[in-house]
Structure 1
Amino acid sequence: MNINGHHHISMITKDAKRNNAFYTNVLGLRRVNMTVNQDSPNMYHLFFGDRTGSPGTELTFFEIPNAGQTHKGTNSISRIGLFVPTVESLDYWKERFTRFGVAFHAEVTEYANKAALHFRDHEMLEMVLLVVPKNTVLPAHWEAWEKSDVPKEHRILGMASVELKVRNPKATVEVLHELFGYEVVEQKGSQTIIQTEAGGVFSELVLIEEDGPAEKPGRGSVHHVAIRVENVAQLKHFDELLKARGVTTSNVVDRHYFESVYFRDANNILFELATDEPGFTIAGDIETLGEKLHLPPKFEHRREEIEAMLTPLD
Structure 2
Amino acid sequence: MTAIPGLHHVTAICSAPQTNLDFYTGTLGQRLVKKTVNFDDPGTYHLYYGDRAGTPGTIMTFFPFIGSGPGQAGNGMASAVAYAFDAAGLDAWVDLLAQGDVNFDGPEERFGARVITLADPDQLSIEIAETVDMASGGFHSVTLRLADPEPTARLLTGIMGYEELGEETGPGLSRLRLRAPGGEMGSVIDLVRDDGTTTARQGAGTIHHVAFRARNTEEQRNWQERLRAARLDVTPIIDRQYFKAIYFREPGGVLFEIATDPPGFAIDEPEEALGRNLMLPTRYEPYRARIERILPPLSGHI
Contact 1:3 1:198 in 2 (8 A): no
Structure 1 residues 52-108: Cα deviation after superposition (integer angstroms, max 9, x where no partner): 11000001001111321123322211111101232x333332333234442211x42
Match in the other structure for 1:173: 153
Match in the other structure for 1:149: none
TM-score (norm 2): 0.92
Q: Secondary structure at the match of 2:262?
A: coil
Q: Provide closer, same or farther for how the CA distance between residues 101 and 93 of structure 1 changes in structure 2, counting only shifts above 3 A.
A: same
Q: Report the AA paired with residue 95 of structure 1.
A: D
Contact 1:103 1:121 in 2 (8 A): no
Match in the other structure for 2:84: 83
Question: Does 2:1 correspond to 1:17?
Answer: no
| Distance apart, 1:227 and its partner CA | 0.4
Match in the other structure for 1:307: 292
Match of 1:202 among 172, 186, 193: 186
Contact 2:56 2:213 in 1 (8 A): yes
Task: Give the aligned length.
Answer: 293
Match in the other structure for 1:66: 67
- Distance (Å, rounded) in 1 between the aligned partners of 2:288 and 2:85: 38
- Distance (Å, rounded) in 1 between the aligned partners of 2:236 and 2:90: 41
Contact 2:139 2:185 in 1 (8 A): no
- Distance (Å, rounded) in 2 between the aligned partners of 1:200 and 1:137: 6
- Distance (Å, rounded) in 2 between the aligned partners of 1:36 and 1:18: 17
Q: Report the AA paired with residue 72 of structure 1.
A: A
| Distance apart, 1:173 and its partner CA | 0.8
Match in the other structure for 1:143: none
Q: Report the AA paired with residue 72 of structure 2.
A: H
Match in the other structure for 1:152: none
The answer for unaligned runs of 5 or more in structure 2 is none
| Distance apart, 1:16 and its partner CA | 0.7
| Distance apart, 1:285 and its partner CA | 1.1
- Distance (Å, rounded) in 2 between the aligned partners of 1:200 and 1:287: 25
- Distance (Å, rounded) in 2 between the aligned partners of 1:30 and 1:52: 9
- Distance (Å, rounded) in 2 between the aligned partners of 1:85 and 1:187: 22
Q: Report the AA paired with residue 219 of structure 1.
A: A
The answer for unaligned runs of 5 or more in structure 1 is 139-155
Larger relative strand fraction: 2
Q: Give 1:157-172 correspondences, 5 Å limit.
A: 157-172=137-152
Q: Report the AA paired with residue 60 of structure 2.
A: L
Off by >4 Å, runs of 4+ in structure 1: none
Question: Does 2:126 correspond to 1:127?
Answer: yes
- Distance (Å, rounded) in 2 between the aligned partners of 1:137 and 1:102: 26
- Distance (Å, rounded) in 2 between the aligned partners of 1:281 and 1:165: 34
Q: Secondary structure at the match of 1:243?
A: helix
| Distance apart, 1:308 and its partner CA | 1.0
Q: Provide closer, same or farther for how the CA distance between residues 200 and 89 of structure 1 changes in structure 2, counting only shifts above 3 A.
A: closer
Q: CA RMSD in A?
A: 1.6
Question: Does 2:163 correspond to 1:183?
Answer: yes
- Distance (Å, rounded) in 2 between the aligned partners of 1:243 and 1:104: 42
Contact 1:85 1:157 in 2 (8 A): no
Match in the other structure for 1:148: none
Q: Give 1:26-175 correspondences, 5 Å limit.
A: 26-86=27-87, 88-105=88-105, 107-133=106-132, 136=133, 138=135, 157-175=137-155
TM-score (norm 1): 0.89
Structure 1 residues 139-191: Cα deviation after superposition (integer angstroms, max 9, x where no partner): xxxxxxxxxxxxxxxxx611002111100100101112222111211123321
Question: Does 2:297 correspond to 1:298?
Answer: no
| Distance apart, 1:231 and its partner CA | 0.8
Q: Tell me the percent identity.
A: 34
Contact 2:84 2:134 in 1 (8 A): no
Indicate the larger mover: 292-301 or 35-44.
292-301
Contact 1:75 1:214 in 2 (8 A): no
Structure 1 residues 88-141: Cα deviation after superposition (integer angstroms, max 9, x where no partner): 333332333234442211x422134322211111111111111221xx253xxx
- Distance (Å, rounded) in 1 between the aligned partners of 2:268 and 2:84: 27
Q: Report the AA paired with residue 175 of structure 1.
A: L
